[in-house]
A and B are shown apart, each in its own frame.
With several copies, the nearest count.
Chain A
Amino acid sequence: MPEFQEKSPVRGREQLTPDVCRLTLHAPKIAEHARPGQFVMARAGATLDPLLRRPFSIHKATGDGLISILFKVVGKGTRLLAAAAESVEIDLIGPLGRGFDTTVAGPHCLIGGGMGIAPLYFLAERLMRAGRQASNPPVLLGAQTQAELLLLAEEFTELGYPVLTATDDGTIGHHGFVTELLDDILPEVQQVYVCGPMPMMRTVALKCRAAGTPCQVSLETHMACGLGACLGCTYPASGGGYLHVCKDGPVCSAEEVTWTL
């Protein structure tokens, strides 16, 4: 699989909430080769603090050489990225890792929680493009509060997906966990794609297991390289031993993973 390092100028910056930011970057090679579920390792500026690149799912990849990342400011690295002005160059490596398997037939359900929504947009767009929209159950999107969801929900709708939302504070959609929306839908679907916090993915994975529905999850671990070299990004595999999330994932079958939180 081809991997590229590109110095990618910022071409667009949107502040979705005070701490959620979307950057659009010019990275033609990455954009061309990216598949849904893959990620980039990003670095802003020349400082050695923060030292390591930060992993971000590819949120959008378009024909004009642009990709987007959607992220929440949680620490030093994301703060630097969020502060990057127009035309500042972000150093990207990508596309990395194993993406979603989009070849599975039949109705599918996409479930995103928080920033886990990021890769799902790219997935939804490609599934649509592959002509898979017919009579799909809704995309399920969860977040802490309305502000995080407004724009994103609209974009899924524009793609042609029905959308159901849930918020922790009830400001929009279902008041509670997004996973609670799955029960009604699960019987109709033949494939679940989920990305979000681990407890959420675990709930979805266990529901899918009970229903016998295949489920693909997108894992998060600390990563130093993203290239399979540091062996730092391990996650316990169901068969014993470890998955290396940057190579064996980030997208794995829920059955490959140990769910012992």
Chain B
Amino acid sequence: MDPLTGAASPDLRVDIGPLRLRNPVMTASGTFGYGEEFASLVNLNRLGAIIVKGISLEPRRGNPPPRIIETACGMLNAIGLENVGVDRFITEKLPFLRRLETPVIVNILGDSIEEYSRLADKLNYARGIAALEVNISCPNVKKGGVAFGTVPEMATAVTRSVRQATGLPVIIKLSPNVTDIALIARAVEEAGADAISLINTLLGMAVDIRTRRPRLANIFGGLSGPAIKPVALRMVWQAARAVSIPVVGIGGITTVEDALEFLMAGATAVQVGTANFFRPTATEEIVAGLEEFLRQEDLSSVRQLIGSLKTE
């Protein structure tokens, strides 16, 4: 109910496979810490879901500095997937998150198929987790080989193993550094994903011309922020047309207008990443903005917007 007009509030609920969210606005992994970091600036209970920093079996130190560098309307990061590891996550970070009304989605990453499935298995036993998001892109970690997410067979294998290891909803997070995103999207759908999310960062680089060295110690970094939004939106549209599971849109989303573009292009929900850094209230503002937009357009549910793009 709108307190002023008495009109029914527009319905913001969406379903990501078996997971129902109060609204379609989540935080992107690695850009919102473990939630607590934003507690004094954001009303965490207003969010659709909180996705935490990617978790591995063992704690990781991450890459040497420098790890971040600003670029035109974006940033490169080479954090190197620093995280506290699954055990400390469960004992130190989860208790805070469990007290929130907002569903918690755990982003997981691994070096091998086994690591992914062992992680999924461990998290089965932790209370207060609503779903897993599986990062199969990891462009920042120098692992002899290619990223899982760039080869359909490898993406399939990770998806299968996580699917078998957990009863939780499984969201597979895709890498954009591929020729054909629809191919990968279909592969993970067939392998049992409940949903897909995309995009992770685009692989990029920057050079310090004075020292003639890469600006990031890791040479490569992941490009994120408003700069990548057009690429992300295109991939979300392609993926949404390729699969019938829900698609979660990510990439440069900063304002409610950005979020609406992704929903119309076929995303059932969105994640806000880099914007949390420079506009920590972005998520809340988008939630409010969606309600406002639905009212203006006289729509009763945000679901009416999903995939509503007209192309002829």
Q: Which residues of A contact B281 (CB under 8 A)?
A: 5
A134 at the interface (CB under 8 A from B): no
Q: Which residues of A contact B30 (CB under 8 A)?
A: 230-231
B201 at the interface (CB under 8 A from A): no
> Which residue of B is nearest A225, CB measured?
B277
**Contact between A236 and B65, CB atoms less than 8 A apart:** yes
Question: Pick the contact of A52 from B31, B32, B61, B70 — CB < 8 Å?
Answer: B70
A239 at the interface (CB under 8 A from B): no
Interface readout for A220-247 with B: 1 if CB under 8 Å, 0 if not?
A: 0111110111111111100001100000
B67 at the interface (CB under 8 A from A): yes
A126 at the interface (CB under 8 A from B): no
Q: Which residues of A contact B77 (CB under 8 A)?
A: 224, 230, 232
**Contact between B33 and A229, CB atoms less than 8 A apart:** yes
Q: Which residues of A contact B65 (CB under 8 A)?
A: 221-222, 233-236, 242
Nearest CB in chain A: distance from B262 CB, A:
17
**Contact between B62 and A51, CB atoms less than 8 A apart:** no
B168 at the interface (CB under 8 A from A): no
Interface readout for B57-72 with A: 1 if CB under 8 Å, 0 if not?
A: 0000110111111101
A3 at the interface (CB under 8 A from B): yes
A259 at the interface (CB under 8 A from B): no
- With A48-B72, A49-B73, A230-B31 known as contacts, the answer to whether A222 contacts B276 (CB < 8 A) is no
**Contact between A228 and B70, CB atoms less than 8 A apart:** no
**Contact between B225 and A227, CB atoms less than 8 A apart:** no
A93 at the interface (CB under 8 A from B): yes
For window 254-308 of B, CB contacts with A under 8 Å fall at 254, 274, 276-278, 280-281
Interface readout for A104-124 with B: 1 if CB under 8 Å, 0 if not?
A: 000000000000000000000
Q: Which residues of B contact A231 (CB under 8 A)?
A: 30, 53, 62, 67, 79, 82
Stretch from B35-43, B154-162, B239-247 contacting the other chain: B35-43
A177 at the interface (CB under 8 A from B): no
CA–CA, A221 to B254, complex, Å?
25
**Contact between B79 and A232, CB atoms less than 8 A apart:** yes
Question: Pick the contact of A242 from B31, B62, B72, B277 — CB < 8 Å?
Answer: B62
A50 at the interface (CB under 8 A from B): yes
> Which residue of A is nearest B225, CB measured?
A51
Question: Pick the contact of B70 from A50, A225, A241 — CB < 8 Å?
Answer: A50
CA–CA, A196 to B73, complex, Å?
29
CA–CA, A229 to B281, complex, Å?
14
- With A222-B68, A229-B37, A234-B65 known as contacts, the answer to whether A52 contacts B280 (CB < 8 A) is no
Nearest CB in chain B: distance from A168 CB, A:
19
Question: Pick the contact of B62 from A4, A93, A234 — CB < 8 Å?
Answer: A234
CA–CA, A52 to B67, complex, Å?
15
B75 at the interface (CB under 8 A from A): yes
CA–CA, A224 to B61, complex, Å?
18
Q: Which residues of B contact A227 (CB under 8 A)?
A: 33, 37-38, 41, 280
For window 184-226 of B, CB contacts with A under 8 Å fall at 225-226
A2 at the interface (CB under 8 A from B): yes
- With A225-B276, A227-B33, A231-B79 known as contacts, the answer to whether A241 contacts B67 (CB < 8 A) is no
Nearest CB in chain A: distance from B110 CB, A:
19
**Contact between B278 and A43, CB atoms less than 8 A apart:** yes
**Contact between A51 and B37, CB atoms less than 8 A apart:** no
> Which residue of A is nearest B252, CB measured?
A48
**Contact between A234 and B226, CB atoms less than 8 A apart:** no
Q: Which residues of B contact A52 (CB under 8 A)?
A: 70, 75, 277-278
**Contact between A229 and B69, CB atoms less than 8 A apart:** no
A175 at the interface (CB under 8 A from B): no
- With A51-B74, A51-B226 known as contacts, the answer to whether A229 contacts B276 (CB < 8 A) is yes
**Contact between A236 and B64, CB atoms less than 8 A apart:** yes
> Which residue of B is nearest A5, CB measured?
B41
Nearest CB in chain A: distance from B228 CB, A:
12
> Which residue of A is nearest B59, CB measured?
A241
A contact residues vs B (CB 8 Å cutoff): 2-5, 43, 48-53, 93, 221-225, 227-236, 241-242
25 A–B pairs (Cβ distance < 8 Å), ordered by A: A5-B280, A5-B281, A48-B254, A49-B73, A51-B226, A52-B278, A222-B65, A222-B66, A222-B68, A225-B37, A225-B277, A225-B280, A227-B37, A229-B277, A230-B30, A230-B77, A230-B79, A230-B277, A231-B79, A232-B67, A232-B77, A233-B65, A233-B68, A234-B67, A236-B65
Give me 5 other A-B pairs in contact (C-beta within 8 A), A225-B277, A229-B38 excluded.
A227-B41, A229-B31, A229-B32, A229-B53, A232-B79
Query: Would you list the 4 A-B pairs with minimal beta carbon distance, nearest first?
Result: A232-B68, A229-B33, A229-B37, A225-B277
